[in-house]
Amino acid sequence: MDFSKNYDGVKKNREFQLAFKKGCSYVTQGFVCYYFEHKKSEGGAQPSRNRLGIVASKKVGNAVKRNRGKRVIREAFRIAEPELREKTDKRYDFVFVARSRTPELKSTQICELMKNLFARLIKT
């Protein structure tokens, strides 16, 4: 069993801000997703991985609920992302913002919402 991540993290503040300001948004009951397409790098090569960033504010709940919300989103992304990678050559920065209902949902429910988002991205 391979436990290596197939995605990189969005870690720097300017990367989050770029997704928020110039990216597109997708709103569901479980999360708000901001996504921004990677452009080709200076060498002309397309980035090989999608990148994931997760935000959970104090409005989501206490630390336990915020961590559960992030964990559920991360697991759903791990399951749903390979399908996106296979069906399109485009690579994206995804920033998921947890909502107050996120910790109450199962990762399978979040995964279905993500698959709907990814299907929309594949069509464009």
| CA atoms of 69 and 58, how far apart (whole Å) | 12
The 3-state secondary structure of 46-107, one letter per residue: CCCCEEEEEECCHHHCCHHHHHHHHHHHHHHHHHHHHHHHHHCCCCEEEEEEECCCHHHCCH
pTM of the full structure: 0.88
Structure tokens at 13: 């503040």
Q: How far apart are CA 52 and CA 28, in angstroms?
A: 17
Domains of the chain: 7-123 (3.30.230.10)
Whether pLDDT at 22 is above 90: yes
What does the pLDDT look like over 23-77, one tens digit per residue? 999 999 999 999 999 875 555 555 678 899 999 999 999 999 999 999 999 999 9
93 contacts 10 by C-beta, under 8 angstroms: yes
At 40 the pLDDT is 59
